[in-house]
A = this chain, B = another copy of it.
């Protein structure tokens, strides 16, 4: 077990090697403009020779800056990582942060550990925090905003007075686009399988559906509710069918539920999209593999993550930045509508 970790060279050693003061080395390392070109050369050579790399802890201590930002994951851990939404957002964050010299500290927030997390965040261990609260819209970390730069992913469920920074995807517009598409293709009896109404995405997607229908002067079709799982989608579809109202299209608030609705439709003898067109939401990775492939609303999740990171860094570094950013989704046409 080669645990031969040779002690890292210090700035002191570099200074000695180069025959200059520590201050100068520090300046070179940090790219200060006020250093003689010759000096820089010399010092740089020593740095390379010794393979010097600055000690992060020491630097943090001196600068009173950690150069690291927390990624807090508040939802029940079990679901979070399996959730493609979360996965994509994190990806965007990580990608955006990679070239900067901020480090991403993943902290998973279980109910029981809340105080510990709070202390960690407030204890000066990070320069800022990113909190991703997809479904819940739960901004229980809102108070933190006063103590620490914080950017939320997903809009708050309630519009609070204090100004939180957040970036979100535009669920309302996404839904509108989807339903409009259905209408444009001649569908007139558009039902919907909605998500939970205590989560912003569930709420907004239903609202979008209702809006467009109203604007088109169409009767709103029947509504059934699910909880974003495939099973609930199947149940909802069954409810819709049993309702007896005519249906030639259904806007499903997420792909998972659409996945569940598929076999129910098939068993009922309704062909997709001939008899009933279906449009999903999220562009989940399996949606191209369903039969028929699912037409769905794609959200710029990766970009959303990147934007979150960007905003936070701005905040940390005292640059002006937008308080709310809402990103548009796009419809990806496949075979189901």
Contacts and interface: CB of A to CB of B under 8 A. Distances in A.
Contact of A162 (B2, B5, B146, B286): B2
Contacts of A198: none
Nearest to A61: B57
A105 B108 contact: no
A98 B109 CA distance: 8
B88 A82 contact: yes
Given A2-B146, A53-B119, A123-B55, A108 B95 contact: yes
A38 interface: no
Interface string A242-273: 00000000000000100110110010000000
Interface stretch (A18-26, A73-81, A185-193): A73-81
B78 A91 contact: yes
A107 B103 contact: yes
Given A55-B61, A104-B105, A104-B107, A82 B285 contact: yes
Contacts of A55: 61, 123-124
B98 A87 contact: no
Contacts of A285: 82
A4 interface: yes
Identical chains bound together, number:
2
A33 interface: no
A25 to B, nearest CB: 15
A291 interface: yes
Contact of A106 (B81, B104, B262): B104
Nearest to A163: B1
Nearest to A105: B103
Interface string A54-79: 11111011000010100101000110
A84 interface: yes
Interface residues of A, number: 68
Contacts of A73: 94
Contacts of A2: 145-147, 162
A230 interface: yes
A127 to B, nearest CB: 10
A81 B77 contact: no
B105 A56 contact: no
A54 B124 CA distance: 9
What 10 pairs across the A-B complex have the smallest Cβ distances?
A53-B123, A57-B60, A81-B87, A2-B146, A230-B289, A81-B91, A94-B108, A57-B61, A104-B106, A56-B125
Interface of A: 1-6, 8, 53-58, 60-61, 66, 68, 71, 73, 77-78, 80-82, 84, 87-88, 90-91, 94-95, 98-99, 103-108, 110, 113, 119-120, 122-125, 145-149, 162-163, 230-231, 256, 259-260, 262-263, 266, 285-286, 288-289, 291, 315
27 contacts: A1-B315, A2-B146, A3-B149, A8-B122, A8-B124, A53-B119, A53-B120, A53-B122, A55-B61, A56-B57, A56-B123, A57-B60, A57-B61, A57-B124, A71-B106, A77-B91, A78-B91, A81-B88, A81-B91, A81-B94, A94-B106, A98-B107, A98-B113, A104-B105, A104-B106, A230-B286, A256-B289
